[in-house]
Amino acid sequence: MRFLFPLSLLILLSGCAVPMMPAISSYGQPEQDNQPYHLMPGDIIELIVTQRQDLSGEYMLGPDGALYLPDFGTIDLNGLSQQEAQQTLTAILSQYYSPITLVLKVKSYQNDEYVVIMGAVMEPGVYPIKNRITLIRAIGQAKGFTNDANLRAIKLVRNGNDVSPYRVNANKIIKRGDFSHDYQLQANDIIIVPTKLFSQAKNTALEFLPLVELGLVAFITLNQVN
């Protein structure tokens, strides 16, 4: 049985030859993230109107994506970006007040979009991405990383494009405060958190070790009989 330890060690070392995840050439913000959000029913916006303080405040867009503004009636904002909606409201109010200073902010996003979080997180699963959640916040919803999570090689698969996933180094976000890596998630994104290479090797070794030891015991037993 003295052969068991060296053999176990050999298996463990061979398990370390796990192919590394292919690196992504660019850490730049995905092109899709540069697309502006378009307002939809249920969104909550905030208006700041300098000349009409009574109009300033928060409003929820109706089931048709329209805003009801006192004295101005119903204004359709459905499908408009934040900038387009601000320009639309400014144009309408400027017909009555000139000059007019209006600022529109999106306070809460309403959608039924989801992302999938897999791998070395405490609670893998499907999670909603309301309020345009970022990757790190989504990981927080999954109760955080496991102890053997490889934070340097997280994959973000977008639009089913598993051939060219985005590679995310969460250490740069958590330890260095580099939030350029904390991508804003989109519907149907898949987040894959791999385990550390040593953990993968150890798990592989532990999985096959009982079979190898059993075979070695049988080999030694047969030799003793002969």
Q: pLDDT by residue (tens digit) across 114-149?
A: 889 999 999 998 887 766 688 999 999 899 999 999
Domain span at residue 175 reads: 22-35+112-193
Q: Does one domain contain both 49 and 99?
A: yes
Place 6 in a pLDDT band, splitting at 50, 70 and 90: very low
In contact, 173 and 31? CB cutoff 8 Å: no
Q: Does one domain contain both 29 and 124?
A: yes
Q: Does one domain contain both 148 and 187?
A: yes
27-50 confidence digits (pLDDT tens) = 334 444 456 778 888 889 999 999
Euclidean distance between CA atoms 180 and 216, whole angstroms: 53
**% the chain with pLDDT above 90:** 40
Residue-level pLDDT at 72: 92
Q: What is the mean pLDDT of residues 10-30?
A: 36
Which CATH number does the domain housing residue 100 bear?
Answer: 3.30.1950.10
Residue with tokens 């994506």, as numbered in its chain? 65
* Listed residue (64, 56, 62, 65) closest to 105, CA to CA: 56
Least confident of 12-21, 36-45, 47-56, 90-99: 12-21
SS3 159: coil
Q: How many CB atoms lie within 10 A of CB 224?
A: 7
Q: Does one domain contain both 119 and 175?
A: yes
Residue-level pLDDT at 225: 56
Total domain count, the chain = 2
Q: What is the mean pLDDT of residues 177-181?
A: 86
Q: Is the dihedral of CA 119, 121, 125, 130 positive or negative?
A: negative
Tell whether the model's pLDDT for residue 21 goes beyond 70.
no
Euclidean distance between CA atoms 58 and 93, whole angstroms: 17
- Domain ends where: 55, 80, 108? 108
Residue environment code for 58-70, b if the CB has 16+ CB neighbours within 10 A, otherwise e = ebebeeebbbebe
* Listed residue (187, 200, 216) closest to 40, CA to CA: 187
Euclidean distance between CA atoms 160 and 6, whole angstroms: 44
For 198, the token pair is 């040593």
Residues constituting the chain: 226
Does residue 176 fall inside a structural domain?
yes
Residue-level pLDDT at 156: 94
Q: Which residues pair with 114 in a beta bridge?
A: 128
Which CATH number does the domain housing residue 147 bear?
Answer: 3.10.560.10
SS3 39: coil
* Listed residue (194, 180, 188, 184) closest to 146, CA to CA: 194
Q: Does one domain contain both 123 and 147?
A: yes
Residue-level pLDDT at 119: 94
Tell whether the model's pLDDT for residue 201 goes beyond 60.
no
Residue-level pLDDT at 42: 84
Euclidean distance between CA atoms 26 and 28, whole angstroms: 5
Q: Does one domain contain both 28 and 116?
A: yes
Residue-level pLDDT at 3: 43
Q: Is the dihedral of CA 109, 110, 115, 117 positive or negative?
A: positive
Residue-level pLDDT at 114: 82
Residue-level pLDDT at 4: 44
57-90 confidence digits (pLDDT tens) = 999 998 888 999 999 999 999 989 999 999 999 9
Q: Mean of the per-residue pLDDT values for the chain?
A: 77
